[in-house]
Amino acid sequence: MMLTTGTDLTYIGGRMMALMTFYKLNKNSLSQKLGLSGNSLIGKIVNDKERGCTSDLLEKFAVAFPDLNLRWLVISC
């Protein structure tokens, strides 16, 4: 995955933003792809550098993006 320069990849929300850029998604379309109602959860994670991600949400990412390295999404490695 090629990432957009200027994206803060030091927190999970930044990595979600990079994922959205790569797949040309916005918060609404990402939420829909993950099977979430509304985009408030994604917005909270993207906007709060201290906020994490639940195992349920990670499972949704694994199903929606089978080629995504979840380890990268969670801890950036």
| pLDDT given at position 51 | 87
CATH of the domain at 29: 1.10.260.40
Residue 23 in any domain: the answer is yes
Domain extent, residue 55, equals: 12-75
Residue 51 lies in a domain: yes
Global confidence as pTM: 0.85
> 1 near 16, Cβ under 8 Å?
no
Q: Is the dihedral of CA 35, 23, 19, 62 positive or negative?
A: positive
What dihedral do alpha carbons 49, 46, 74, 65 form, nearest 10°? 180
Residue 6 domain-assigned?
no
Query: Whole-angstrom Cα distance, residue 2 to residue 22?
Result: 7
Q: Is residue 4 part of a domain?
A: no
Asked if the structure places residue 1 within a domain, the reply is: no
Please report the pLDDT score of residue 4 as a whole number: 53
pLDDT digits (tens, 9 = 90+) for 30-77: 999 999 988 889 999 999 888 888 999 999 999 999 999 999 999 876
> Is position 7 within any domain?
no
Count up the domains in the chain and report the number. 1
